[in-house]
Amino acid sequence: MAKRRDLKKFVKYTSDHVTSLILWEMAVASDEKRPAYDQLLNEIVCLHHDIVGRISHTEPGSVKPFYKKLKEDFKEGINAIIGKIDELADGKTE
């Protein structure tokens, strides 16, 4: 139980930091980029809920591969969102 709790805390911590990064970039972004940042906020919330839901309902019998796949999916999702943040931030003019 404690391992699941620690994993959920890590997911929350990471999701919160990516969310704050998105909000920071949104605050300094132009008005035409705000819908794209809104979409990124939606993606991080959906990713968070998906991962936490999967942690709560572990498949019996195949625990180790289940968590390996879960961690890989979370890592890929976070990297994709951060890549999109970088693309949006690179295009801004100051």
- Asked if residue 43 lies in contact with residue 21, where contact means CB atoms within 8 angstroms, the answer is no
Q: What is the CATH number of the domain that holds 39?
A: 1.20.81
Instruction: Write out the two tokens for 48.
Output: 């968070």
* pTM of the complete model: 0.87
Structural domain boundaries, residue 37? 2-90
How many domains are there within the chain?
1
Contact 22, 78 (CB under 8 A): no
pLDDT in tens, the chain (94 residues): 468 899 999 999 999 999 999 999 999 888 899 999 999 999 999 999 999 999 998 878 888 899 999 999 999 999 999 999 999 988 654 4
